[in-house]
A and B are shown apart, each in its own frame.
Chain A
Amino acid sequence: MAEFRVRRFDGKKSYWQTFNVPAKKGMTVLEGLYYIKENLDSSLAFRASCRMGICGSCAMRINGKPRLACETQILFLGDRITVEPLDNFTVIKDLVTDFEGFFAKHKAIKPYLIREDVKYDEPRELLQTPKELNEYYIFTLCIKCGACYSVCPAAATLDGYLGPAAMTAAYRFCADSRDKGKKERYEIVSSSNGVWRCHLAMECSEVCPKNVEPAKAVQLLRRRTAFSILKSLLGW
């Protein structure tokens, strides 16, 4: 038996509730939550979809740290599990948080290849060497789970801050040899709400379940942005 302490929220008040879950070897926290929902309290709300660490829906604070519930095994953590919603997000109900702002920030950095020469009637391949791919590959692994954003001290104090995930996506496209939209993106991420607000706490890289290293992406983006603006100021 594992004891699940779940922080719940009913729209008005927040409270803790404890459930006993029969934990078997290999059972994940997400399976534990499904057990509670199916057998103990059907009103428990949480979000999950793929159950295999791909969709990013099930990120929550488990034993004090943001993790993917579907990839965290109960017995690996012991027999007492605390489950809370992610920090830095507004809680809608129980473990379900509002991701609208997070996705709006992601959208704001134009997370797609920008090119002028796209002709849909004459599609052509955009070639890339393995070295060029390696420049940004690791940053493509982000699953938008929000774990990084939930531990970011800059996101905690400033609502408009773009946050590690959005800026990682910005860097991912700026570092792509096929992309021609760097200037547009540099302008967006160099706004007051962008790269300058990062204090390099590095907690984002620490908690990322996909080892994306968002802190590194933000620093690389900051350097690129600063030098690109400096160059344009000096007329180079």
Chain B
Amino acid sequence: MSSTTASRPAVPKAGGPGSAPRLRPTRGRRTPGRPRRSVLLTLVTGVVLLYSLVPLLWLVISATKTQAGLARSFGLWFDGDFALWENISRTFTYHDGVFVRWLLNTLLYVVAGAGGATFLAVLGGYALAKFDFPGKRAVFAVVIGAVAVPGTALAVPTFLMFSKMGLTDTPWAVIIPSLISPFGLYLMWVFATEAIPTELMEAARIDGASELRTFFQVALPLLAPGTVTVLLFTMVATWNNYFLPLIMLKDPDWYPLTLGLDSWNKQAATAGGEAVFNLVLTGSLLTVVPLIAAFLLLQKYWQSGLSAGSVKE
């Protein structure tokens, strides 16, 4: 880490208040505020990079192995039998293609749950950032306080409540609780505070725009990068959800991918159950890929949101 000081451009110490310091050396044309790159810092951070990527690499490699190959080969290298395509087709067809059903369920939960959660968070964050209304502090305190309530404190009573309403073992039991993202609300609140100049809203109102029109035509476009970010996070949360469906769903036909993979994994431990670890791992890879793809695709927008935020001064 000492490289940060070693490679730092020699900045002359400012003398008295009257002296005119050189901001940075003139050699090595660098844009202002962009320091020289450091090999050592890159290597040190590279350790964290390896930590993050090696398990994913292990997953990709493992998905190419047969059940027997998994046991006999080194984890971070390929086995003689390259079985990726066979594994994928078996994952999709195993147990009458239940994996496809789980994938579709997950998509449903993500579109309805994450989409709805993002919409509610954008509306609410906009309200918290740009309006002063009676009970505003109470709303915020209750929402933030509720985040600290353990999942099970809610899960058991929610399950009993939903069970009385006849909602358990239906998609609604997973979708409705997914609609609330306190963190999304917080993120949108912070973002809207920064991104929407109040003067712009006032100008729209002076021009006679209604509140709804001001929101949709003035605020929403400015909120786009924040919205994408919240959508990304709620998507991840819904796609990855395990605890809620575990409690709410008995019928494997409504399982999301997470619960389905878990059931395949447990199957090996049950009497007479077939061990399908190669399918568990291939299914895991197939579960991860769409989310990583979505993240990489959305990254562009999200990045523009970040730089837009950092330009303002």
Answer whether A and B are interacting partners. no
